[in-house]
Amino acid sequence: MFDRLDDLLIRFEEIMGELNEPTVANDQERFRRLMKEQSDLTPVVETYREYKKCRQDVEDSLAMLEEESDAEMREMLKETLSESKERVEELEQQLKILLLPKDPNDEKNVIVEIRAGAGGDEAALFAAEIYRMYVHYAEGQRWKVELLNADEIGIGGMKEVQFVISGQGAYSKMKYESGVHRVQRVPETESGGRIHTSTVSVAVMPEVDEDIDIVIDEKDIRIDVMRASGNGGQCVNTTDSAVRLTHYPTGIVIYSQTEKSQIQNKAKAFALLKSKLYDLEQQQRHDAEAQMRRSQIGTGDRSEKIRTYNFPQGRVTDHRIGLTLYKLDKVMNGDIQELIDACIAADQAAKLVRLNENG
């Protein structure tokens, strides 16, 4: 591990030297690549430098202890030594986590798809609330949200909704939201006061950009255009702007109607189809690699129940990591960072165990 860290330190210093060259600014592609590499290496380099300093502090304290005879000074040195040793262990663990293989999709934007499951109108109402929860969370992260498609019902619910979240590291955080979300509460339409259980499924897919080659054969696609429906403004129901894509090999159907222009809706539909096909490819690879599955939080299965939102008790439980929080109102308002952080920590711990087993 330390040989690799020394190599990374040397590479970091090389990058800093290259960035100081007067000609580098003229080559935008090279400049962008170097800045990205510098950004990726900075947390590792800073942690490793602190680790080396703490190791030196340990050695210095041991050397001084051998020479020191004053009891009070010896006590102070022992305290410093203990603190430095503790910090060395913490930093070593941090370095192991920083050196874990990165998910190549972590920095990508995401396409999120929320679908109402069991529970009829109540499930559709909860789907709309989950959508708003993610919009609030994205706003808190200073990410941008763009609606792709929404199938709304009259009482404020959504049968399904697809949207893009754009921002640094969006996938690295949002990927833990994939799965079945369960709600337990008394629906507004329930006169007898009985608690109902409804479900919503969430799929989080990395947005496909130029670095991923997804080929879609024209013969495999059917494109239908139609008039948009629902609450969409003045142009709805007056022009054939809505687009439906059908992908024959997979049976995937995409419907896009949020834009006034048919061209824009078509572009959005194709972007969503590409992400779905890439996600399907990832899922198939994931299913084939049992080792990878064991190092992830939960099973990674879309049908897995990952979280329960219990309104009468005001609690949220993440079943993958056994975490329960009694702040449902805040969570529904987008305060989900604690849940995501806990999933990240558990995921890293599982990967470290796997690494140690192999190592």
The one-digit pLDDT tens for each residue of the chain (359 residues) are 778 888 888 898 988 888 888 888 788 888 888 888 888 889 889 999 999 999 998 998 898 888 878 888 888 888 889 888 999 988 988 888 888 878 888 888 998 999 998 888 899 999 999 999 999 999 999 999 988 888 888 788 999 998 999 998 899 999 999 999 999 998 876 667 788 899 999 989 888 776 667 777 888 888 888 777 654 444 444 567 788 888 888 888 887 877 777 888 888 888 888 888 887 877 776 665 544 444 445 544 556 799 999 999 999 999 999 999 999 999 999 999 999 999 998 988 888 887 776 65
Looking at residue 232, its pLDDT comes to 45
Closest CA to 320 of 282, 291, 348, 346: 346
pTM for the full predicted model: 0.71
Closest CA to 103 of 339, 319, 314, 285: 285
* Same domain (yes/no): 116, 152: yes
Assigned token pair, 288: 């084939």
Q: Which residues contact 133 (CB under 8 A, 6 or more apart)?
A: 331, 332, 333, 334, 336
3-state secondary structure 40-84: HHHHHHHHHHHHHHHHHHHHHHHHHHHHCCCHHHHHHHHHHHHHH
* CATH number of the domain bearing residue 81: 1.20.58
Question: Which phi and psi angles does 120 have, rounded to 5°?
Answer: 60, -135
Which residue, 98, 121, 140, sits at the end of a domain?
98
**Calpha distance 220→308 (Å, rounded):** 39
Give 154's Cβ-side CA count (13 Å radius): 0
Assigned token pair, 262: 């048919």
* Same domain (yes/no): 159, 219: no
Amino acid letter for position 263: I
**Calpha distance 314→185 (Å, rounded):** 10
**Calpha distance 205→302 (Å, rounded):** 12
Question: Which phi and psi angles does 310 have, rounded to 5°?
Answer: -100, 105
* Same domain (yes/no): 176, 61: no
The number of distinct structural domains making up the chain is 3
Which residue, 72, 98, 124, sits at the end of a domain?
98
Which residue, 288, 311, 339, sits at the end of a domain?
288
Q: Cα–Cα–Cα angle for 116, 122, 124, nearest 5°?
A: 30
Q: Report helix, strand or coil for 252.
A: strand
* CATH number of the domain bearing residue 261: 3.30.160.20
Q: Which domain holds residue 336?
A: 107-207+290-359
Looking at residue 180, its pLDDT comes to 93
* Same domain (yes/no): 199, 168: yes
Radius of gyration of the chain from its Cα atoms, rounded to whole angstroms: 26
**Calpha distance 312→212 (Å, rounded):** 45
Looking at residue 100, its pLDDT comes to 81
* Same domain (yes/no): 155, 246: no
Edge to edge, the sheet with strand 252-256 lists 221-226, 242-247, 252-256
**Calpha distance 61→104 (Å, rounded):** 42
